[in-house]
Amino acid sequence: MKILVTGGSGFIGSHLCESLAKKHEVVCFDSLITGKKENLDGIGVEFIKRDIRKPFDAKCDLIFNLASPASPADYMGYPLETIEVNSLGMMNVLSNARKHGARVLQASTSEIYGDPLEHPQRESYFGNVNTLGPRSCYDESKRFAETLCHVYHEKYGVESIIVRIFNTYGERMRVDDGRAVPSFITQALEGKPLTVFGSGNQTRSLCYVGDLVNGMEKLAFSDMGFGAFNLGNPQEITINELAKTILELCKSKSKIVYSPLPQDDPRRRKPDISKVRKAVSWEPEVDMIEGLKRTIKWFRARGIV
């Protein structure tokens, strides 16, 4: 198969490219706005620097669309680019898929549920998103991207699988992407205070990147024409527990410092994964301690003390 991965040199994209390239011909498009070309070194994929906000023509059988800033710090820093890539870029991906008869796997996000009023979150939940908040450029444009997939399927029969990705961590996260896991690991290894926002009682459910990529592939290679699926690990922890676990695993004496919770920061987040379990028998396998150990090892090997 010839596979196009947009946003393939980012954190999740590069793991996906690495796995796909073992069996398929893989081309990666990335504007490098937040991705890093080095993530693809030695992986055996063709890299083309391209911004999918402009129309493109690429013959392929399958498109994984991961092109978008994805960490809160990144999308808040690039709000218009984020909106454009998830609207214009998504349309360009779907037009290209229509032209070449390719199917699409769209990387959506748990952010489409906003600060959820239903817990855990099932795919049938419509969400609770503030259209005027700091996260809305990402949340609303990712919601719109889902709608485009739906309309292209209804109107033109373009097949797409939407995966709503919950918090994911692992090797190749950027030290400066602002997310909790890389920030806490870097702070713990450097002996600096861990910066917990709010009370630290807000929760997240963390999935190891290898598990996530495995789920994306299982869904993309299934024979479903259209569908939306949560992908994530339902093991839920508070941010305080995450900070303490990272301190222990790094054998760090750093303290925890508290600062105000950012606006619209979701209070709870945990995926209900019964739909994907049933559809393709996917199950996350790497437990959080093991996954964090691998991630810490990778950060240490990159010279973070």
Residues marked active site are found at: 138
* Residue-wise DSSP of 193-233: PEEEETTS--EEE-EEHHHHHHHHHHHHTS--SEEEEEES-
Among all chains, which residue has been given the structure tokens 């947009």?
A: 6
Is position 72 an interface residue for ligand UDP (rule: CB under 6 A)? yes
Q: CB-wise, 53 or 204, nearer to ligand UDP?
A: 204
Q: Considering only residues 130-169, where is the footprint of ligand UDP by CB under 6 A?
A: 167
The residue within the footprint of ligand UDP, chosen from 204, 208, 209, 215 (CB under 6 A), is 204
Is position 19 an interface residue for ligand UDP (rule: CB under 6 A)? no
Structural contact between residues 109 and 231, judged by C-beta atoms closer than 8 angstroms: no
The residue within the footprint of ligand UDP, chosen from 105, 149, 158, 180 (CB under 6 A), is 180
Contact stretch for ligand UDP (CB under 6 A) within 15-23, 173-181, 207-215, 296-304 = 173-181
The residue within the footprint of ligand UDP, chosen from 262, 277, 290, 297 (CB under 6 A), is 262
Is position 195 an interface residue for ligand UDP (rule: CB under 6 A)? yes
Closest residue to bound ligand UDP by CB: 179
Is position 196 an interface residue for ligand UDP (rule: CB under 6 A)? yes
Residues 119 and 125: their CA atoms lie apart, in Å, by 10
Cβ-based burial of 163 (10 A; exposed 0-12, middle 13-18, buried ≥19): buried
- Give the closest residue to 16 by CA, choosing from 144, 172, 135, 202: 172
Ramachandran region, residue 153 (left: φ > 0; alpha: ψ -120 to 50; beta: rest): alpha
The residue within the footprint of ligand UDP, chosen from 34, 136, 160, 183 (CB under 6 A), is 183
Is position 121 an interface residue for ligand UDP (rule: CB under 6 A)? no
Residues 126 and 117: their CA atoms lie apart, in Å, by 10
The residue within the footprint of ligand UDP, chosen from 160, 202, 230, 252 (CB under 6 A), is 202
Give CA torsion, residues 209, 65, 113, 156, to 10 deg.
-140
Supply the minimum distance, in Å, between the C-beta of residue 79 and ligand UDP: 15
* Cβ-based neighbour number of residue 280 at 10 Å: 18
Q: CB-wise, 15 or 103, nearer to ligand UDP?
A: 15
Residues 33 and 67: their CA atoms lie apart, in Å, by 10
Number of residues that bind ligand UDP (CB under 6 A): 15
The residue within the footprint of ligand UDP, chosen from 129, 239, 276, 286 (CB under 6 A), is 239
List interacting residues with ligand UDP (CB under 6 A).
71-72, 167, 178-180, 183, 195-197, 202, 204, 239, 262, 265
